[in-house]
Amino acid sequence: METSHVSALQLKHAGIERQIHEEMSRPMPDEVLVQALKKRKLRIKEEIARH
């Protein structure tokens, strides 16, 4: 198992989580952006699960 790769994915996942949180705390969140970020986050989560 490539632990550095998994660590990098976990960092990326956390970064996307933070972006989603920042966008949702704005007065007028961009729902399209939020949905795109959530899809990216899910793909990363699935890739982490495969390792």
Task: Tell me if 8 sits within 8 A of 29, measured CB to CB.
Answer: no
Nearest to 30 by CA among 19, 39, 40: 19
- Count of structural domains within the chain: 1
Q: Which domain holds residue 15?
A: 3-50
Chain segment 1-51, per-residue pLDDT in tens: 578 999 999 999 999 999 999 999 999 999 999 999 999 999 999 999 998
In this prediction, residue 2 carries a pLDDT of: 75
Looking at this protein, which amino acid is placed at residue 41? Answer: K
Question: Residue 1 has what pLDDT?
Answer: 52
Which pLDDT belongs to residue 6?
94
Closest CA to 20 of 5, 43, 40: 40
Token pair of 18 as six digits:
């933070």
Question: Could you tell me the pTM of the whole model?
Answer: 0.86
Dmax over Cα atoms in the chain, in whole Å? 42
